[in-house]
Amino acid sequence: MTNKKIVYISHPMGGDILGNTQKVIAICRQIHNEEVVPFVPYLAAFQYLDDTDPRERQKGIDASTVFFTRPGAFDELWLYGNRISEGMRGEIILALENSIPVVAKTAETAEVLSEIIVEQAASS
């Protein structure tokens, strides 16, 4: 058995939950192999929480935060999509604060990731 890397998949979700869920599932299907296991806990939360209700949305965010602050829950944060949403920005900051490597998988996320890293370094 190989030492598999667990990667948290970060992707914009708001606005088109169903369409974005399908995109995330396709990403997981594409990258899941002998070396990589995708980790997407927020997909479960979308099944029972209403993202349009601010209190329920916060419950979902709080649930995901647990994984960023629990050492070893996952190995890297991978960014997908054509933009970095507010939720993704929060995930990036949590990853950086907890020394979790962040990997941009699209040109759009790479550009903004660089800006966020600079901002975080300046505020430290």
Domain extent for 105: 5-123
Model confidence, pTM: 0.90
Query: What's 75's domain CATH number?
Result: 3.40.50
| CA angle, residues 49, 53, 59, in degrees to nearest 5 | 50
Contact 27, 13 (CB under 8 A): no
List pLDDT tens digits, range 93-117. 999 999 999 999 999 999 899 889 8
List pLDDT tens digits, range 52-87. 788 988 888 888 889 999 999 999 999 999 999 999
Q: Identify which of 34, 36, 40, 19 has the alpha carbon closest to the alpha carbon of residue 82.
A: 19
Q: How many domains does the chain have?
A: 1
Contact 69, 94 (CB under 8 A): yes
